[in-house]
């Protein structure tokens, strides 16, 4: 039970520090790669990037 409490505290500290979660960084990298490869246009890239940051 105490481990869950510690995990919640760590998550709150990490989240409140303003850092992104690891999955978001990877998603942004994939999004950039798709844009560079011409798979998506600029408008789609910007819209999807905005969605990821919300």
Q: Which tens digits make up the pLDDT trace of 7-49? A: 888 777 766 666 555 565 788 889 999 999 999 899 999 999 8
pLDDT score of 53: 80
pLDDT score of 47: 92
Residue 40 inside a domain? The answer is yes
Residue 51 inside a domain? The answer is yes
The pTM of the full predicted model, rounded to 2 decimals, is 0.54
Residue 30 inside a domain? The answer is yes
Cα–Cα distance between 35 and 54 in angstroms, integer? 20
pLDDT score of 15: 65
The set of residues, in sequence order, having a beta carbon less than 8 Å from that of 35 and lying 6+ positions away, is: 42, 45
Cα–Cα distance between 4 and 33 in angstroms, integer? 37
pLDDT score of 42: 92
Expressed as residue numbers, the domain containing 50 is: 20-54
Distances (CA, A) of 44 to 2, 12, 24, 35, 37: 45, 32, 17, 9, 13
Residue 15 inside a domain? The answer is no
User: How many domains, the chain?
Assistant: 1
Residue 49 inside a domain? The answer is yes
Six-digit token string for 29: 């990298």
Residue 4 inside a domain? The answer is no
Instruction: For the chain, report the end-to-end CA distance as a whole number of angstroms.
Output: 31
């Amino acid at each position: 039970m105490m481990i869950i409490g510690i995990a919640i505290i760590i998550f709150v500290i990490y989240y409140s520090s303003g850092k992104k979660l690891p999955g978001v960084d990877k998603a942004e990298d994939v999004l950039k790669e798709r844009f560079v490869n011409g798979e998506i246009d600029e408008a789609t890239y910007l819209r999807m990037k905005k969605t990821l940051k919300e």
